[in-house]
Amino acid sequence: MIYTVTLNPSVDYIVEVEELTLGGLNRMKRDMKLPGGKGINVSRVLKQLGVDSTATGFLGGFTGGYIEQWLRQEGIAGSFVQIADDTRINIKLKAGEETEINGAGPEITDSETAALLQKLDALKPGDIVVLSGSAPPSLGGDIYARLIAGCKRKGAEFVIDTTGQALKAALSEGPLLIKPNHHELAELFDTEISTREEIITYGRKLLEGGARHVLVSMAGEGALFITEQGVYHASAPAGQVKNSVGAGDSMIAGFVGTLSLTGNALEAFRAGVASGSATAFSDDLADRAMIEQLRPLVTVSQL
């Protein structure tokens, strides 16, 4: 079973206006309300790939209820901790350029945190836990370390998709996959990266640090896949980019879902790139038809 953990989910309120007038009245051209949060995105794309998962994390208030109802309608199993505070709302304002206004997130109590950690007791060897996104400040800086310890205690694999110190600390625990983009990779090593060769150099450092697979997304230039067996490049399919939210999460879903089904890491890489591209070309997350349309267009070559 694949589990996804979203510590700070959201309702993403997407608003489009023809032209934004600050200090004046603006009328919407279109709006959408979607469940948000990196782990939730992974579960939604896994469902499109025909792979079941259980989504967990913290949900509260009317916004949390909205997310639960949406996932239930899509046939995604949820095992969330119900919290006293409300799940946040993130605003994505599209007026030519996109402006994001993200909520800080709810206050999580010690008992609510303990309830989430207790859910890890259901894990079994062979399960995969996807740990994604930011954490509400009230959880403290060690929450990912505590979750990883719970995974390892039960013999489960884990994927981590976060940034900064939490990602660095996780490397020595042997994550199945990490997926920084090239900007996040540079930030990890406090450097500047301008060439593919530099991406490969620093990606290999992540392998040396303990990661088993490293996937580095490079937007229109495709992606690099770095393993002990070699370094591979995948081209990005051509298309009109409509959506900047969730492409990286979709890439993780494509990789993890396909790896769990086939055990083939290169096919998982291809599916990951196809899934990420399908989301970039859609208003919402990728659907199965778009993923399957793009999959044969992704060319994987060893460098």
Is pLDDT above 90 for 183? no
Is pLDDT above 80 for 220? no
Res. 149 pLDDT band, cuts 50 70 90: very high
pLDDT at residue 164, rounded to an integer: 83
Q: Which structure tokens are listed for 5?
A: 């953990």
Give the residue with greater pLDDT, 111 vs 236.
Answer: 111
- Position 175, amino acid: P
Nearest CA among 298, 260, 261 for reference residue 278: 298
Mean pLDDT of 163-180: 91
Average pLDDT, the chain: 93
Question: Which contacts of 263-268 are long-range, i.e. CB under 8 A and separated by 24 or more positions?
Answer: 265/213, 265/225, 265/227, 265/229, 266/225, 266/232, 266/300
pLDDT at residue 46, rounded to an integer: 97
- Position 222, amino acid: G
The answer to whether the beta carbons of residues 132 and 5 sit under 8 Å apart is: yes
For 245, the 3-state DSSP assignment is coil
Quote the strand ranges of the chain, DSSP E. Answer: 2-6, 10-17, 28-36, 53-59, 77-78, 81-82, 88-95, 97-101, 128-132, 157-161, 177-178, 214-217, 223-227, 230-234, 300-302
Mean pLDDT of 197-203: 93
pLDDT at residue 275, rounded to an integer: 95
User: Which positions are catalytic?
Assistant: 249
pLDDT in tens, 230-261: 999 999 888 888 777 788 999 999 999 999 99
pTM above threshold 0.85: yes
pLDDT at residue 148, rounded to an integer: 97
